[in-house]
Amino acid sequence: MRVLLEQYEVKHTLGSGLQGKVKLGVDLKTGEAVALKLIKADTLSNKACHNLFREIESMKRVQHPNVLRLLAVKKDVEYPKKKGGVMKVVLVVLELASGGELFDFMMYTGSFSEEIARTYFRQLVSGLHECHSKQVFHRDIKPENLLLDQNYILRIADFGLSALGDQSTELMTQCGTRSYMSPEVLSGSPYEGAPADVWSAGVVLFILLAGFPPFQIATRQDWWFRACAMKQYHAFWAAHSRTAVFSPMAMDLLTRIFDTNPASRLTLPEIWQHPWMHEPMLPDADLTAEMKTRTEKVQAEKLLLRKQKEAAAAPTNSGAFNPFDRNVHRSIAAPAEPPVFLPTISKSGITAYTTFRCVAPSSDNLLSRVHEACTKDVVEGSWKSGEAKAKAKFTTESGDLIDVGFVVHNTDDDSTFMLEVRRRSGDVFAFRSYFQTLSISLQDIVCDETTQVMTKPLAAPADVEDDEDGEELISDEALMI
């Protein structure tokens, strides 16, 4: 048995990050289970020390039922290694959120009802409001950083990227997770922490309700974001309503959160006053029963995946999934990241999609390449020349049947096209396998990640007055076959 400071018994690893590992621990004085964050002291750079101080200071300031509690911080702690010897660590003792990540419930059990989504969003808003009142801005709000305690109460966690408003009123650092970052943060311009957190919270709420993200990244190169930027919310909701159900009040709230102008974006107090926030919620007993059922499914799905990985003995694509496809070939030029597939909820009927930028003589030629890449697995399909779209049903090696749609979009470059691949039905993991096969087959014509390609401007609708009247969204028909 390994014991730190004669108080904390060290058990198995819960997770790991850039700075160190998080272990399950037991406080021998109280008997309470805790999370022990162990950070190697000799690897801490000056910047890392500064970030750690800021994380600890942020958590010390905020004491709230919906924010993870900081229990203790100790430096120069001798940590006994399994193979002998010791190393000096900074020990951060945190409240244990035994209910797991909110992300896991979205990944493995599907979207939530409005009653459950409202419950958790209210808890998120309440916790964030307390943070902001103490001049703490999180800057990395996402489902992975929203934990649940043993009673399934939400806890905001991981303040490693937080900012302290009383030290700097105007923030400059572009940090966080790109898929959840607000447009002003992504633009690289000075921004305020509160509106940026509100935007990220809105993305979380959308995923809670739909099971998939509202857009890939908040830049003008993303068609779904452009709808918000051009205030064409009717097109945004028309596209998404084909694969998820949103109440009018939920759409109204999210529309006002997805205001690209941070000055007019809803504030947390205004969100709290919105009518949707005061509609019915599940009683505590019903919520607990629902989440316990989902917990069992999460555990079963994780066990199944672990067995599949062990059977395949393949180290590829390990680690946590992300509800966003980080390598979607339509974001701004940036350092290439490992291709990670956009997953969605398994067998839930929710669409998953991704996009390639491809070089081809024509849209028909591109679709022909796609057809050739998967001909042997096609059960039935519709491949018509001149329509720039197709659909087909495939069987996988495991016998799964998936229905896939393809849409080719033009760009300003006549030799470059955007190929959208969308799962219409079927198991998402089977679609994921198909996506990987298609990626390999098309690798000779897929544009390099650092090549910037802008979408081709189309005529703006007559009823929209906008300075950028040459820019328009793809039609609703093009978004899905």
Active site members: 140
What tokens appear for 418 in the block?
């955007």
What tokens appear for 82 in the block?
């399994």
Burial of 18 (0-12, 13-18, 19+ CB in 10 A): exposed
8 Å CB contact between 46 and 32: no
Rounded to 5°, the CA angle 179-356-370 comes to: 145
- With b meaning 16 or more CB within 10 Å and e meaning fewer, what string describes 307-332? eeeeeeeeeeeeeebbbbbbbbbbbe
8 Å CB contact between 435 and 354: yes
243 C-beta neighbours (distance < 10 Å), count: 20
**Phi, psi of 391, deg, nearest 5:** -150, 150
Q: Which residue has the tokens 């999609």?
A: 353
- With b meaning 16 or more CB within 10 Å and e meaning fewer, what string describes 260-293? bebeebbebeebeebebeeeebbeeeebeebbee
Which has the closest alpha carbon to 66: 136, 129, 2? 129
388 φψ region: left (φ > 0), alpha (ψ -120 to 50), beta (else): left
Burial of 91 (0-12, 13-18, 19+ CB in 10 A): buried
Which has the closest alpha carbon to 358: 420, 314, 304, 315? 420
What tokens appear for 84 in the block?
């002998």
What tokens appear for 423 in the block?
């799962």
**Mode of pairing for the β-strands spanning 401-410 and 163-164:** unpaired
Q: What is the DSSP string of 98-126?
A: TTEEHHHHHHHH-PPPHHHHHHHHHHHHH
DSSP H helices, 313-380, are: 363-374
User: Among positive and negative, which fits the CA dihedral 253, 257, 261, 264?
Assistant: positive
What tokens appear for 196 in the block?
């940026």
8 Å CB contact between 424 and 405: yes
